[in-house]
Amino acid sequence: MSRPVAIITGASRGIGRAIAEELAATHQVLATYKGRRDMAESLREATGAAILQSDIASAADRAALIEFATATYGRIDLLVNNAGVTQRVRADVLEAGEESFDEILATNLKGPHFLTQAAGNVMLRQGSGRIVYITSVSAYAASVNRAEYCISKAGLSMSALLFAQRLAPHGIPVFEIRPGVIRTDMITTVEKLYEERIAGGLVPQRRMGEGTDVARAVRAIADGLLDYAAGQVLNVDGGFHMRGL
């Protein structure tokens, strides 16, 4: 294979799709999806990406993904941990149940953590690679009606740091990208509210983010422009993270 190989999880729509479309020009993209095969097929037809149905919360599916990548391409040059879910129903932290908690953390935290472990070992054997975690401003910004989502993203942020520490001495940089309010189907029900809050000053740059904003940050990492910045957190949030008086 002349092109580097990039695994992008949850790539059939939203941020993951934008990343897949961005990288397809330079990488052999292996895009995973869990549900909507039609959307994955449209990505394949538009970009030439390979697609694979995979539930990141499943140990068997994670193993099958790594096996497919190594057997088909012989290597993994970039892993983008993007797949994630939010609550089926938002509930107050004093009332939210364990079923939602388990579902969210299995997909958003356990899955990416152990997928990174597996891919990291492949990269150690081949002597190179890069890893990106797509987390969220919810890693530090508390929403009391989305507790399990916030907890999953905070944990994911620590997972990124742990692997960054472990793999940096081997020339395998790990990065965290924290998107802010990004226009995807995940926020459809509250998009109008966010637009109003952004207009009122929630985001200093006064606009909602797009998937392409995140994709361009991944591009910089994929092209090696940030290779001496292992463990860096990139805030793609329109300045939301800034504090002012």
Residues with catalytic function: 149
Q: Are 85 and 33 in contact (CB under 8 A)?
A: no
Cβ distance 211 to 17 under 8 Å?
Answer: yes
Rounded CA gap, 140 and 122, in Å?
31
Neighbouring C-beta atoms of residue 1, cutoff 10 Å: 11
20/196 Cα distance (integer angstroms) = 30
The secondary structure of the chain in percent helix, strand, coil, rounded to multiples of 5, reads 50, 15, 35
The neighbouring-strand residues paired with 176 are 133, 233
Q: How far apart are CA 204 and CA 195, in angstroms?
A: 13
